[in-house]
């Protein structure tokens, strides 16, 4: 959510930003919110005048009563009563106007960074850099569920009976590999100076609306019936929510946290054949990283965050690339975003395994996360990035480390988390 003062003083800048995001239907909202803001400020001014006048008259009533001028005092009381009625009307109007202004402001997209490429959708995202040499072996790479089945490592049929589509049982070596990746990612981030955290896996609605747009909320979140609670779609939500309505001392910044959690997502819409198995699912586990920092440091941290993910994947012998999201592919709260994509030798192309985002002060403004600095209080900047999400990471890992005989090599960095195993041998 952008600053109402910024919108008030720079309406054309806000409108141009909306055009860059190809959301022209939202253009009238800028003029609407300006008109509502003027009406609201006028109501506040009149209300303040009535309160000041009430205090003045109250003193006059006391003086008149002391002088025995009862009739004049009663007339003043009537004036106060009339003012009180109008004040009540104005306070109700202020509440209604402020609610409407806030609702609109939460749908107007954040101002994107000037470096963001302009494009309508993800087809116009821009490749930044490739890391590692993509290899396509001479032997066939089966679909990831077929690889897992050769290790007796997955049971989709049983999961379908228990929970429906979009769920899975991981078994044996594949389940252990899944846990090993999470543990390795945890230690990888701790070694880079991040504080490890396990957050709540449910959050209240005020946190949900603080960390994401209404459209994202509807597409992702599962609500707990009868409770003001939602299952998290990523631990970033509860990690940023940890700071709701807080004032952080400037000399304590940055806060750098890495968190483990299960994640729950509706994953609405139809998906292609390549998104079967464990690619797009309703439940998975994830290691995340977040940063709360000073505004002038946020772009530096943005570069550090996506580089962490690149380095982790390269340490496991997986080629990756970074892809910058164009303006039309940015969620409304984001200032800038990179996707990290892993190489799929089976598909002979890259696919998304993580996303790094700088949200400026949008989340902090919604959640009232402030910093107390030498020059006063200001809103912090927040950033988040996927360290690793094993379902997709497992796909990349298995495809890139699969050998001609069906075995899967375990990179040296992961071997301590796999009991010293150097390779997995198929059971079928």
Cα angle 188-194-195, degrees, rounded to a multiple of 5: 115
Q: Are 380 and 293 in contact (CB under 8 A)?
A: yes
**CA separation (Å) from 278 to 7, 143, 194, 272, 295?**
43, 11, 29, 13, 37
pLDDT-derived band at 275, boundaries 50, 70, 90: low
Q: Please indicate, yes or no, whether the overall pTM of this predicted structure exceeds 0.85.
A: yes
**In the prediction, which pLDDT does 270 show?**
45
Q: Which of 203, 251, 413 is nearest to 318 (CA)?
A: 413
Q: How far apart are CA 344 and CA 134, in angstroms?
A: 8
Position 190 pLDDT exceeds 90: yes
Where do you find CATH 1.10.287.40 in the chain?
A: 4-105
Q: Which of 288, 292, 293 is nearest to 308 (CA)?
A: 288
Per CATH, the number for 4-105 is 1.10.287.40
Q: How far apart are CA 256 and CA 248, in angstroms?
A: 13
What are the helix and strand counts (H, E) for the chain? 13, 18
**CA separation (Å) from 133 to 78, 168, 392?**
84, 32, 20
Q: Are 362 and 292 in contact (CB under 8 A)?
A: no
122-424 belongs to which CATH class? alpha beta
Residues 53-80: what's their mean pLDDT?
76
- The predicted-structure confidence for 334-381, as pLDDT tens digits, reads as follows 999 999 999 999 999 999 999 999 999 999 999 999 999 998 999 999
Strand partners for 105: none
Report the greatest alpha carbon distance in the chain: 107
Phi/psi of residue 322, nearest 5 degrees: -105, 140
- Number of Cβ within a 10 Å radius of residue 370: 19
Residues 286-301: what's their mean pLDDT?
97
Q: How far apart are CA 302 and CA 292, in angstroms?
A: 11
Q: Which of 409, 352, 319 is nearest to 134 (CA)?
A: 319
Where do you find CATH 3.30.930.10 in the chain?
A: 122-424
């Amino acid at each position: 959510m952008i600053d109402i003062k910024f919108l008030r003083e720079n309406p054309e800048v806000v409108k141009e930003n909306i055009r860059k995001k190809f959301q022209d239907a939202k253009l009238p909202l800028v003029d609407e919110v300006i008109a509502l803001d003027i009406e609201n400020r006028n109501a506040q001014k009149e209300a303040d005048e009535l309160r000041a006048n009430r205090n003045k008259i109250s003193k006059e009533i006391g003086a008149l009563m002391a002088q025995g001028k009862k009739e004049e005092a009663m007339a003043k009381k009537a004036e106060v009563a009339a003012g009180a009625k109008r004040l009540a009307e104005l306070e109700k109007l202020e509440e209604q106007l402020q609610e409407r202004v806030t609702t609109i402001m939460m749908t107007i997209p954040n101002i994107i960074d000037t470096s963001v490429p302009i494009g309508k959708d993800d087809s116009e995202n821009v490749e930044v850099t490739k890391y590692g040499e993509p290899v396509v072996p001479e032997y066939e790479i089966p679909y990831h569920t077929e690889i897992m089945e050769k290790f007796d490592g997955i049971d989709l049929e049983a999961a379908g009976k228990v929970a429906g589509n979009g769920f899975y049982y991981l078994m044996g070596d594949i389940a252990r590999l899944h846990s090993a990746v999470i543990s390795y990612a945890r230690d990888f981030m701790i070694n880079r100076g991040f504080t490890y955290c396990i957050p709540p896996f449910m959050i209240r609605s005020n946190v949900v609306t603080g960390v994401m747009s209404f459209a994202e909320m509807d597409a992702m979140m599962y609500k707990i019936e009868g409770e003001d609670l939602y299952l998290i779609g990523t631990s970033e939500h509860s990690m940023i929510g940890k700071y709701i309505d807080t004032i952080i001392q400037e000399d304590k910044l940055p806060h750098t946290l890495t968190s483990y959690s299960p994640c729950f997502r509706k994953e609405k819409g139809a998906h292609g054949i390549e998104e079967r198995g464990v690619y797009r699912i309703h439940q998975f586990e994830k290691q995340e990283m977040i940063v709360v920092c000073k505004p002038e440091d946020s772009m530096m941290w943005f570069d550090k965050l996506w580089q962490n993910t690149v380095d982790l994947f390269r340490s496991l012998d997986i080629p990756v690339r970074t892809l910058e999201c164009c303006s039309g592919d940015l969620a409304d709260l984001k200032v800038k975003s990179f996707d990290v994509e892993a190489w799929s030798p089976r598909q002979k192309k890259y696919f998304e395994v993580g996303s790094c985002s700088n949200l400026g002060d949008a989340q902090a403004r919604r959640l009232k996360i402030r910093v107390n600095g030498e020059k006063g209080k200001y809103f912090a900047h927040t950033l988040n990035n996927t360290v690793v999400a094993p379902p997709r990471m497992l796909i990349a890992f298995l495809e890139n480390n699969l050998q001609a005989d069906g075995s899967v090599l375990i990179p040296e960095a992961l071997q301590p988390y796999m009991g010293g195993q150097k390779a997995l041998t198929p059971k079928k």
